[in-house]
Amino acid sequence: MQKQMGLAEWSMLLVLSLLWGGSFLFNGILVKALPPFTIVTGRVLLAALALNIIVRLMGHKMPRDGKSWVAFFGMGVLNNMIPFCLIVWGQTHIASGLASILNATTPLFTVVVAHILTTDEKMSGHRLIGVLIGFAGVAYMIGFDVLHDLGSNVLAQLAVLGAAISYSFAGIWGRRFRAMSMPPLLPAAGQVTASTILMLPVALIADRPWALPAPGIETWLALLGLALLSTAIAYVLFFRVLATAGATNLALVTFLIPVSAILLGTIILGEQLQAKHLIGMATIAVGLAAIDGRLMSLGKRRAA
């Protein structure tokens, strides 16, 4: 398992952060028109259809053995069903900035979980320091004023923290696909298929989507963007990085997502880029460099 990421892994992580950062734009449109379970179900359903078609077109076959589908359903629960539902519900009660900070705790949890459950992703001093620096950068960039709400709506905050914990376990769970020699496309398709099977009855019972007003074109386009870009393509990259760089490195994407969300808001929505955003991005870059370890190793070699 690669402890330092190369150019290819960093590039994929940056693209992944753009895809997941864009999900904030899509969700902002969807929550105005659709209930939470319907959004989550539509997201995984359309992603599952797209990925299964691509699997067929590329000549692959989805596994049919029980071991593979236990892995798919486990990943679907930990990486989709639990965090998607908790975050969407949490964001109906707390500000998105606070939710982003709470979600950025994912690498902190992943460092601990990986240290306990793996043999090749043990906690190191520079990695932990880098995670803390990166988290501080996220908090500064979004703005510490959102922390004034910390303590109110405790259940909603715990829900977003629960999503971060679920993501950390998902990263560890997903390592098994590398041992099963699956190309990234198959677990990506398998987990969203399993998530659809689990979420569909929940949405039908809780939201009764057939009774909702017909969505407009803007809603459909946002749902397609969320499903195809922020889910289908994103999860192919997710499993590729996970297979080569490990769960701890993969979790760093949660530091980059707010950066991508702010840059997309500036470019697409014309939002103003503030000085705190630039300082926060620079702090995150320092944290990522510390986690990567190369600058520290270079400094030690020069000192020696």
Q: What is the pLDDT of residues 27-81, one digit of tens each?
A: 778 888 899 899 999 999 999 999 999 999 999 999 999 999 999 999 999 999 9
251-288 pLDDT per residue, tens: 888 778 777 777 777 777 676 777 877 787 788 778 77
Cα–Cα distance for residue pair 23/27, rounded to 1 Å: 6
Helix, strand or coil for residue 152?
strand
DSSP 298: H
Reported confidence tier of residue 199, pLDDT bands at 50, 70, 90: very high
- What is the band of 203 on the pLDDT scale with cuts at 50, 70, 90? very high
At 82, which amino acid appears?
I
Q: Which of 180, 188, 185 is nearest to 66 (CA)?
A: 180
**pLDDT confidence of 1, banded at 50, 70, 90?**
very low
Answer for the pair 234, 16: CB distance below 8 angstroms, yes or no: yes
Give alpha helix (H) positions in 174-271: 176-179, 185-206, 217-224, 234-245, 247-250, 253-268
Domain boundaries, the chain: 7-296
Helix, strand and coil in the chain, % to nearest 5: 80, 0, 20
The angle at the Cα of 171, spanning 155 to 239, to the nearest 5 degrees, equals: 130
Is there a contact between 258 and 96 (Cβ–Cβ < 8 Å)?
no
What are the φ/ψ torsions at residue 216 (nearest 5 degrees)?
Answer: -85, 175
Give the helix ranges, DSSP H, for 91-184.
96-103, 106-117, 125-142, 154-173, 176-179
What are the tokens at 119? Answer: 């043999």
Task: Write the pLDDT tens digit of every residue in 132-174.
Answer: 888 888 777 767 666 666 666 778 888 888 998 999 999 999 9
Q: Can you tell me the distance from the alpha carbon of 197 to that of 190, in angstroms, rounded to the nearest whole number?
A: 11
